[in-house]
Amino acid sequence: MTDSTAASISPPDIRWGDVRMATSGRLARALTAEDLRLMARRRLPRPIFDYVDGGGENEFTLGRNSAAFDRIGFRPRTVADIAGRSQSTAYFGRASAAPFAIGPMGGLGLLCPDADIVLARVAARAGIPFVLATGASASIERVAEAAPDGRRWFQLYVFSDADLNRRLLQRAASAGFEALVVTTDTQIAPKRLRDLRNGFAMPMRLTPRNIVDFAARPGWLWRIGRKSGTGLMGNLAAEIGGTPTAAETFDFFRAGRSRSVGWEDLKPIRDVWRGPMLLKGIVTAEEAVLAAELGVDGIVVSNHGGRNLDGTMATIEALPQVVAAVGDRLTVFLDSGIRRGSDVVKALALGAKGTLIGRPIAFALAAAGEAGVEHVLAMLHDEVDRVHGLLGCPRLDRIDPSFLWRDDRPARP
């Protein structure tokens, strides 16, 4: 068999634990995260798609996040024993079947009914962590009930009311959530031009401006529009009491969020939460050192997927300085801009212990619900396996910068 013939044959069934990549039907044609993005664009009304796909202001950072990965290439070892490859790793003393987790995302109920329940179930079957957002449509308790055996982490936006913060953490701990991820980069509402031009707002309201866009997607209206509680923030509904509307929960969220979070505001949270705690949004060595001094267990190098402050460096550009500063003291994760398994491997080679996946998961949800999420996770797992095998590195914990080369010209979107 020639090399070209072998390369044209795909495995008949890509399976990873109880999660498999579709090999027939519409999903089988989705061979990349970009394919799933295009499928989602065809299924979603434009304001909803742009809400997921878009970034802050001119979207410079959004584009740079991905472009910066493309400036990094590989230096493979072609004579190597790569039998017995494994992606298994461990975070905070517990095994994870892959070096990535499902990152926190709010508003997913606009993409798929019971989206957070779907993600928790698929992550549990895959053996990877799932991070539930403060603004998720499903509550802490519902997710724990749906995926009792899963690795569940909770993401917190800091509220001005310290008692509210404490209650949310107590609920998460009581429900068996093992780690806390505190987001530090969203104290001020960002300016997202696509949302403003589309008249998009949370919770969703029909207006003359967007009604045509929604009417053009009757399938979405049937799946989502008729779903009771779409847009509801389940975690906050329980704090309000009674049966609040989606608008009431969002108003509670917006009014209660702290607009200024300093290190002194994080210390009480560290004192209350007894499990592993990570700060998400750190992109500089200076803040990484302060995080270590606070006593957290990890950080997520993140610029919120380019959705907030525009004009920042890409996270993969920020990662090496953060790892150099605290990599021996903290577990460092990376998110923002990851679209392929090769991106995951590049992050690991530069010192990250794992990655959080965002938009590819959201697009998979919109494209095909639970089957779509299984598909994209199996795809990423397969891509990571291929890359670290072709690199000649049988164990991902042995990959380092010597497997990479850099094009040092400035990355441009």
- Residues near 232 by Cβ (< 8 Å), separated by ≥ 6? 109, 137, 203, 244, 245, 246, 249
The mean predicted confidence, pLDDT, of the chain is 91
Gap between the Cα atoms of 396 and 385, Å rounded: 9
pLDDT at 353 over 80: yes
H/E run at residue 280: strand 277-282
pLDDT at 171 over 90: yes
Q: Helix or strand or coil: residue 165?
A: helix
Residue that the structure tokens 């698929």 belong to: 122
Where residue 17 falls among pLDDT bands split at 50, 70, 90?
Answer: confident
> What letter does residue 5 receive in the DSSP assignment?
H
- Listed residue (157, 39, 173, 177) closest to 106, CA to CA: 157
Q: Greater confidence, 146 or 210?
A: 146
User: Tens digits of per-residue pLDDT, 57-101?
Assistant: 999 999 999 999 999 999 999 999 999 899 999 999 999 999 999
Residue that the structure tokens 């690795």 belong to: 151
Residue that the structure tokens 């095998």 belong to: 389
CATH annotation of 22-76+85-193+251-406: 3.20.20.70
- Residues near 65 by Cβ (< 8 Å), separated by ≥ 6? 303, 305, 306, 314, 315, 316, 336, 337
Write down the pLDDT at residue 87.
93
pLDDT at 16 over 90: no
Which entry of 304, 375, 381, 388 is annotated as an active-site residue?
304
- Residues near 127 by Cβ (< 8 Å), separated by ≥ 6? 17, 95, 96, 97, 98, 151
Give yes or no: 388 in active site.
Answer: no
Amino acid residing at 155: Q
Quick one: what percent of the chain has pLDDT higher than 90? 76
- Listed residue (281, 400, 413) closest to 348, CA to CA: 400
Beta carbons of 192 and 307 less than 8 angstroms apart: yes
User: Tens digits of per-residue pLDDT, 114-156?
Assistant: 999 999 999 999 999 999 999 999 999 999 999 999 999 999 9
Residue that the structure tokens 């779903």 belong to: 227
Residue that the structure tokens 């938009």 belong to: 359
Q: Which two tokens stand for residue 180?
A: 């806390």
Q: Which two tokens stand for residue 158?
A: 């800091």
pLDDT at 13 over 60: no
Q: What is the mean pLDDT of residues 352-362?
A: 98
Q: Greater confidence, 234 or 175?
A: 175
Write down the pLDDT at residue 23.
79
Chain length of the chain:
413
Min mean pLDDT across 1-5, 231-235, 321-325, 384-388 is at 1-5
